[in-house]
Copies of this chain bind each other. A is one copy, B any other.
Amino acid sequence: MCSYAVNKRAVVLLSGGLDSATALAMAKAQGYACYALSVSYGQRHIAELNAAKRVAQQLGAIEHRIVDVDMRAIGGSALTDDIAVPEHEADEPLESGIPVTYVPARNTIMLSVALGCAEVLGAQAIFAGVNAVDYSGYPDCRPQYISAFQTMANLATKAGVEGDTIAIETPLIDLTKADIIRQGLALGVDYGQTVSCYQANAEGKACGRCDSCRIRQAGFSEAGVDDPTQYLATDEKNT
């Protein structure tokens, strides 16, 4: 038995979506005892948090902690405010630039909460399913941002003062959605448990028309894998 492996701990940010589920599976495959962390930030639907609970259990996380951060009080995003989530036909291109679904400082806030948890747990790493390929419009998904967060985090904590660091791990950052899906399937992720849709209904059924649904659909298609997502029928209300 290797006691080092048993003591290696990671906080894994888990949204309930495809990317963070894969990041959790990767952290586990690297031998970390995984502490799943969801930040409840005033999402329009509880479907994401329910998905995160299922994924944490399916992938054997030690715990699933939910920290409430009222990002609605910050505002400025279609995901937390009364701004409509853009919908498109399947053959329309994605919009360029920073989308209205961008939540100001969301990744910074979520990584900061993870940093606090990692410090308390004595964790060596934080895993986040940040991806720069499909989310090139989000400033806080870029590698140079993650690198700057790491530098700041090294100075922010007790661990840093004592010469230890908490590594910010973003194993998906350069992967395409198809590659993420392939690697996740190889690690046993059940993507039928995950919810990516920006406006899923309470049961986790997806709209199939928002940017997140479209990126996800294209990923399954490119990976040549059946898409296990449950989509709303066209006559179902998104409630």
Instruction: Tell which of A141-149, A203-211, A219-227 binds the partner.
Output: A141-149
Verify B145–A105 contact, CB threshold 8 A: no
- The interface residues of chain B lying within 8 Å CB-to-CB of A74 are 67, 113, 116-117, 120
**Least Cβ–Cβ distance between A111 and chain B, in angstroms:** 8
Contact of A152 among B66, B98, B151 (CB under 8 A): B151
Given A76-B116, A105-B112, A115-B104, A152 and B149 contact (CB-CB distance below 8 Å): yes
Q: Is A61 on the interface with B (CB-CB < 8 A)?
A: no
Q: Which residue of B lies closest to A148 (CB)?
A: B152
Q: Is the CB of A157 within 8 A of B116?
A: no
A102 close to B158 (CB less than 8 A): yes
Smallest CB gap from A153: residue in B: B108
- Interface residue SS majority, chain A: helix
Is there a chain B Cβ closer than 8 Å to A5's Cβ? no
Contact between A112 and B120 (Cβ–Cβ < 8 Å)? no
User: When the two chains form their complex, are residues B155 and A144 in contact, meaning their CB atoms are under 8 A apart?
Assistant: yes
Measured between alpha carbons, how far is A156 from B117 in the docked complex, in Å? Answer: 21
Which residues of chain A from 149 to 171 have a CB within 8 Å of any chain B CB?
Answer: 149, 151-158, 160-161
What are 24 pairs between A and B in contact, CB < 8 Å?
A66-B73, A67-B74, A69-B70, A69-B113, A74-B117, A76-B120, A98-B158, A98-B161, A104-B157, A104-B158, A108-B112, A108-B116, A108-B153, A108-B156, A109-B109, A109-B112, A109-B113, A112-B112, A139-B156, A139-B161, A142-B155, A148-B155, A149-B152, A149-B156
